[in-house]
């Protein structure tokens, strides 16, 4: 799939549909899903919806006890296992443990992420947003590929963001070794990488029955904003000076239950059976951005380009193999 394939298909849902509305009537009995970050924000609602449809959900968590407490009300159908996306050895231990069970993996939801954080480094010196949001998830998906193939019809969903509009991949310096760090450019790059990862993974594995999709969940207030001080959110227009939410933002932003809906749609909709690799938003395939697109909508050409997806895949494989 490429930019020309970004054609909405009238899913029957809309921007404010909830995850439970989208999955209503879907039977996931006997299916196994992994949801990274599946115990916080929209991740919790993604887990809840999948369990409501009968799936068993494995939630990798850096803070296992916190995850178990958050998911206590649906604990019967969830399993929390330790994993830290910033630590390749942790990812590899998790994948090895899952593969050792010889179970199939029907859904891999790469939901976890960090946003606009101060410059920190993970692994062999990777910028953390690129390292956690993209490289950690790519390594997880690569290692779990045998279980996905075993499922016969598995899907991978990579959470991107409209923030991809802020930056293409910084091909010559993705880890900010030679340029001044900008937390929003770094986040934008990571979200472009998430979209290109889905395109690249789909191209690599669709012949073996696995399809992948990128998802922009929408604007949602969740713990993802933990690194943003109140004054910055006021400057961004997300909040008023008194801490209240402007009416325009309330109308545009989604609840966590609504924010999980496009993930669930991409993971389960039969309308996407032959449309892997596409970027989705508001429970539909997103449009290709043009001069009339607002900054918070549609997909930019650099985030749905086949050649860029292959280039990123090869660059990332090299980084992972050397780590």
Whether 187 is catalytic: yes
Count other C-beta atoms under 10 Å from residue 201's C-beta. 29
- Alpha-carbon distance of 146 to 68, in angstroms, equals 27
Do 29 and 50 touch, CB atoms closer than 8 A?
A: no
Question: Hey, is 122 helix, strand or coil?
Answer: strand
Which of 39, 181, 187, 279 is catalytic? The answer is: 187
Main-chain phi, psi angles of 265, to 5 degrees:
-65, -45
C-alpha pair distances (Å), 110 with each of 132, 158, 191:
11, 5, 12
Do 279 and 214 touch, CB atoms closer than 8 A?
A: yes
Question: Hey, is 291 helix, strand or coil?
Answer: coil
- Alpha-carbon distance of 40 to 92, in angstroms, equals 23
Name, in order, each residue with C-beta under 8 angstroms of 9's C-beta and a sequence gap of 6 or more. 271, 275, 284, 285
Q: Give catalytic residues, as residue numbers.
A: 187
């Amino acid at each position: 799939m490429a930019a020309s394939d970004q054609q909405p298909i009238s899913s029957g849902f809309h921007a404010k549909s909830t995850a439970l509305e989208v999955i209503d009537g879907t039977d996931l009995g006997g299916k196994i899903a992994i949801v990274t970050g599946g115990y916080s924000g929209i991740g919790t609602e993604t887990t809840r919806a999948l369990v409501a449809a009968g799936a068993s959900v494995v939630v990798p968590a850096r803070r296992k006890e916190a995850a178990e407490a958050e998911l206590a009300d649906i604990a019967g159908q969830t399993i929390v296992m330790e994993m830290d996306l910033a630590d390749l050895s942790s990812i590899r231990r998790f994948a090895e443990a899952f593969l050792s069970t010889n179970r199939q993996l029907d859904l891999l939801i790469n939901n976890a992420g960090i946003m606009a954080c101060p410059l920190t480094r993970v692994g062999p010196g990777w910028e953390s947003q690129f390292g956690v949001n993209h490289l950690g998830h790519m390594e997880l998906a690569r290692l779990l590929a045998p279980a996905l193939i075993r499922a016969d019809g598995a899907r991978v969903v990579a959470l991107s963001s409209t923030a991809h509009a802020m930056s293409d991949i910084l091909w010559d310096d993705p880890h900010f070794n030679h340029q001044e760090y900008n937390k929003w450019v770094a986040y934008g790059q990571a979200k472009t990488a998430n979209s290109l990862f889905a395109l690249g993974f789909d191209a690599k594995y669709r012949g073996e029955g696995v399809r992948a999709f990128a998802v922009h969940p929408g604007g949602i207030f969740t713990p993802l904003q933990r690194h943003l001080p109140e004054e910055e959110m006021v400057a961004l227009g997300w909040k008023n000076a008194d801490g209240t939410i402007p009416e325009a933002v309330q109308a545009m932003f989604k609840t966590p239950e609504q924010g999980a809906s496009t993930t669930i749609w991409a993971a389960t909709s039969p309308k996407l059976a032959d449309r892997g690799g596409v970027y989705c938003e508001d429970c539909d395939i997103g449009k290709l951005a043009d001069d009339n697109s607002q900054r918070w909508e549609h997909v930019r050409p650099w985030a749905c380009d086949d050649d860029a997806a292959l280039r990123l895949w090869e660059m990332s494989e090299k980084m992972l193999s050397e780590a």
